[in-house]
Amino acid sequence: MLASKDDSSLGSLEKFPAVLHARASLRSDVSTVILQRAMIRALRMIGRSSKQMELSLADHSGYLNGKATFKVGIGNGNVFDTLDAGEEDRVLRKTQNQGALPVLDVAVNIQYAVEGGKRHSVRGDRYIARMLFQPKRLELLLHHWKGVRRVQPDELVRLLVSAVNTELRREKSPGLELEELRTT
């Protein structure tokens, strides 16, 4: 899909929550456009990934083998558009045609499942992240929207930084450096 006048809100959410559960300051030695392009590709990769983990449930003693799967959305006014191949192309095309976005807001939904055929209802988590881009710097603000935080805010920040650095290495670019990470 081509970037159009309808894309004025693409990448940002009109109202970002005031309460933060993590704030990270990162240093970058690449241009903002290159960083944003790597960020979009990394978010798409995260949205197609899963992570093995142990899950505790209220109706079961101990831990069960499980996994977390991720679904990522890109802010677009007052909604999040699912970051699929078409949306990835749309955002990348916008950064190519119009330059770097000043803000990138994303939602990360994490769904949990018990492995081994056991039927258990496991609540998911939803995080909303705002990335503020400045020359040589990225500020990442993270809000835990709902859930029980089976994946902690600092874990999600580190997962995102690792995925972006993987994408930057593919382009033979220097990675992000985490300078500060505060959580509440």
Residues 50-71 pLDDT 10s? 999 988 877 777 788 889 999 9
Tell me what pLDDT residue 4 has: 39
Q: What percent of the chain is modeled with pLDDT above 90?
A: 68
Tell me the C-alpha distance between 142 and 124, whole Å.
17
Which has the closest alpha carbon to 105: 150, 141, 69?
A: 141
Tell me the C-alpha distance between 33 and 8, whole Å.
17
Mean pLDDT, residues 7-26 taken together: 85
CB 135 within 8 A of CB 35: no
Q: Is 8 helix (H, G, I), strand (E, B) or coil?
A: helix
The secondary structure of the chain in percent helix, strand, coil, rounded to multiples of 5, reads 30, 40, 30
Tell me what pLDDT residue 7 has: 67
Which has the closest alpha carbon to 76: 90, 55, 62?
A: 90
Amino acid at 126: R
Mean pLDDT, residues 78-88 taken together: 93
Mean pLDDT, residues 134-156 taken together: 95
The neighbouring-strand residues paired with 137 are 27, 134
